[in-house]
Amino acid sequence: MIKRIIVKGIVQGVGFRPFVYRIAKNNNLKGYVKNMGNYVEIVVMGNKDDINSFLDDLMTKKPPLAQINEINVFDELDESNYKFNYNDFIIEKSQENKGNKEEGTIPPDVAICEDCLKEIMDKNDRRYRYPFTACTNCGARFTIVKELPYDRENTSMDEFPLCEDCLNEYENPIDRRFHAQATCCPKCGPEVFLTDKNGNILYKKDDAVRNAVKLLKNGYILAIKGVGGTHLACCCDKDDVVLNLRNRLNRPTQPFAVMTKPEYLNLFANFDDDELNLLKSTKRPIVVLEKNEDYGKYFSKHVSNLNSIGVMFPYSGLHHLLFDETDKIAYIMTSANLPGLPMVIKNDDILNNLRDIADYFLLHNREIVNRCDDSVLKKINNRMIFLRRSRGYTPEPIIVNNSLVIKNNDKNILCVGPELNSTACLVKGNKFYLTQYIGNTSKYETFNYLNDAIQNLMKITNTNKIDAVVCDLHPSYNSTKLAHELAERFGAELYKIQHHKAHAYSLMGDNDIFEDAIFIAIDGLGYGEDGNIWGGEILKYDKNKNKMERIGHLEEQYQAGGDLATKYPLRMLLSILYKKLNHDELIEFIKGYNFFSDKDLKLMLFQLDKYINVVKTTSCGRILDSVSAMLSVCYERTYDGEYAIRLESVAENYIKKYPEDYNACLEMVKNDIKIKNNILNTTDLVYNCYKMLLNGFKKGFIAYYIHLAIADGLSEIAIKNAELYNIRYIGLTGGVSYNKIISERIRQNVEGNGFKFLYHGRAPNGDGGISFGQGVGYIVKHLSL
């Protein structure tokens, strides 16, 4: 009996072919396994029982990193189609199948496995303290691959021919490095070296690592080239060192992520099993944790000015060696990029771009083909959600299974995302391949990075044809301009989806639910269908009409100076209070912050009076910004979402310290919410905050009040409409849905009223999930459900 088996999924770079070889031998089968570039082909010859046992093993004993999405088994009656002179089972040379339209991909980069780590720490092992130690179960994948099939010659490891010892492992079917493309050792693999800021090599190999540890301990800032990019690293416990890094990097307030070992985590952070398990997983993302009461004993106050800290565990051999022979419990480990620009990955660029930031450079000579930032997750609403989906997850697809329309999609759809915190997404069938985190595409270098990431994603998924290109509605986004170019290049349809509708479609796809639903989409900004700036929206999806429509929103507010109000939130505060106070009262109040001159204030009032350089917005983010400025939390934005993030921290700290004030705050909110025609009055809410401030209320109480007011007001609109239209599902999405107070209060309201609450889990809530939503939205709108 002969069977031909086609296996699709993540079956490259995970030891899948060696695994197939072993189970075929164990089941007494002859034939071959071959990597076809975008799938694996297996041909087996043997008796029926052995083949059935083989097929069972294929599903139940697969390697830990493999992901099988589909297995097709064909009866082969004509033996002449195969070279069945085989007296054994073999692994045949890979064959690129360019004519095949099926997608294929490789796994994400994963953390070093325990077996390799033991070798690194074993003085008697030939890989002792060798940072590039890897096998089929761990190490770099996505960041080193150039094209499919995933063979050594198609990766950046092709520059390092295997030595005799490594070659023996590579060719030994029972060795865990059998066909491990990233395998190497100190004799034949890449090497690290330590340089000064002029590129002069000071130490090589293990001497470089040991001296880097000494430099970190002595307060120097190092640029460390890693798996998917470069980090800036320094100690966490010295104010002058951390401030030095902030000043050099021009990051005055944005919290730094830290790297620590598992045994140190409980010294400074609170965490539960979900958070700990994710930190320890092969994905090794940054996880945002609550600081504990002892945090200040170990960290400078300048590491994070929030009530939380982003933490990751070592995920490469080099990281583990950096914690060897040191008494430091953590290092700052932040992406080495200037604000708005991609991480640097080439040695020359690292030296040239970071010369004024880092004191020393720990580099290596393995090329990073695809840069990939660290992923970031946070626990909200009892689930781990993505703030940033990148290393450890890209290019793993999000698979949408419950919609027959999406499962039957036969188009290749390219979605280019929004402008900020961007990703792109390639849709093939029901698989949604998100790029790694891209960033701010208004910057030229980041825009080029977006284009490169798209081309790379097409290459590693064997995509030669694009049927549709989807983009944001905003006409001035660079991503929108790129979409026009790509549509023309591929002769593809160009389709635009409004920003907040894309958020809602993203939530539908994330939950695999395509029923009638109400969506609360809240963020900083998105270009609205009326030409104004949206950001606090209530949307209704009607399955029968196949229609997503806006049915409610936050009150429209003016932004004096347009986009300047997003950078300087006192402008937003003045613009809102303009509706309640006279000119003299406004000037007197805003002058008290000593931020604007009298001339600036009069100009802003003139703009509002004459409606000159003023835009309308329903943004939820702008409401939080205005109260943040009112409470002197933050006057000028230095990173995206800063005002609201810091205001949330103030509110959480307060209610934790004064839990007895919760009910009083809730009672005030209940009396203050005003809704008319599905529009929440936000002017009065901000004005109430103003009155509380003048009457001596604690700032933390006011901060908590505005969070509850927004959550309860939006919940009320959503719930009333769900009742009106007999809708079961109410969802929450958008960047402000990362706010734990608002999100968890909305969930409480929704579920407390008997509705099913939808929240994210597989795609980012914020703009990093927009490209995914664009893909879902295109399919839903173009094909009947």
Provide the pairing of β-strand 729-733 with 2-10: unpaired
Could you say which of 27, 35, 451, 688 is catalytic?
35
Catalytic site residue 430? no
| CB-CB contact of 474 with 117 (8 Å) | no
| CA 368/CA 657 separation, integer angstroms | 47
The neighbouring-strand residues paired with 331 are 235, 259
What stretch of H or E contains 518? strand 517-527
Neighbour-count burial for 229-254, b at 16+ CB within 10 Å, e otherwise: bbbbbbbbeeeebbebbbeebebebb
Could you say which of 17, 141, 176, 646 is catalytic?
17
| CA 278/CA 559 separation, integer angstroms | 41
The token pair at 668 is 């005030």
- Backbone φ and ψ for 344, nearest 5 degrees, come out as -85, 145
- SS3 labels along 127-186: CCCCCCCCCCCCECCCCCECCCCCCHHHEHHHHCCCCHHHHHHHCCCCCCCCCCCCCCCC
Report helix, strand or coil for 538.
strand
Question: Rounded to 10 degrees, what is the CA torsion of 648, 650, 652, 654?
Answer: -150
Burial of 671 (0-12, 13-18, 19+ CB in 10 A): exposed
| CA 721/CA 75 separation, integer angstroms | 55
| CA 75/CA 88 separation, integer angstroms | 20
DSSP class of 262: G
- SS3 labels along 381-434: CCEEEEEECCCCCCCCCEECCCCHHHHCCCCEEEECCCCCCECCEEEECCEEEE
The token pair at 287 is 């996880």
The token pair at 568 is 């300087």
Report helix, strand or coil for 76.
coil
Catalytic site residue 663? no
- Residue among 222, 228, 232 nearest 197 (CA): 222
| CA 538/CA 504 separation, integer angstroms | 10
Helix ranges (DSSP H) in 498-597: 499-511, 564-567, 569-577, 583-591
Which residue shows structure tokens 């069972």?
56
- Backbone φ and ψ for 327, nearest 5 degrees, come out as -100, 5
DSSP annotation string for 644-688: HHHHHHHHHHHHHH-GGGHHHHHHHHHHH--EETTEE--HHHHHH
Expressed in angstroms, the distance from the first to the final Cα of the chain is 43
> Which amino acid is residue 494, in one-letter code?
L
The token pair at 723 is 């009742």
Distances (CA, A) of 44 to 64, 74, 95, 388, 577: 23, 11, 18, 43, 76
- Catalytic residues, by residue number, are 17, 35
